[in-house]
Amino acid sequence: MTSPPVLYTVREVAELLRVHQRTAYRLITGGSIKAIKIGSQWRVPESALLEFINSGWQEPEPEDQSKPGPTQYKLPLE
């Protein structure tokens, strides 16, 4: 028998991604993070969250070298 998948709540997803709960909700309802709706509540399988994280990293855009500052990495938040 296989073990059931780990399912995260919207709040847990927000905590793991270190974003506001509303941002996590938008990512889920917008389809950026695959999720299932059980009754009125959303649940995110661990595999879907890891897929989002692994595919979400974008290379930073080339910047003008005359501008000082740290390199910034972005996750898709649409």
Which range among 39-43, 51-55, 70-74 shows the weakest confidence by mean pLDDT? 70-74
When the pLDDT of each residue in the chain is averaged and rounded to a whole number, the result is 84
3-state SS, 9-71, equals: CHHHHHHHHCCCHHHHHHHHHCCCCCCEEECCEEEEEHHHHHHHHHHHCECCCCCCCCCCCCC
* Sequence ranges of the domains in the chain: 7-49
Q: Say if residue 66's pLDDT is above 90.
A: no
Top-confidence residue, 77 or 10: 10
Please state whether the predicted TM-score (pTM) of the whole model is above 0.85: no
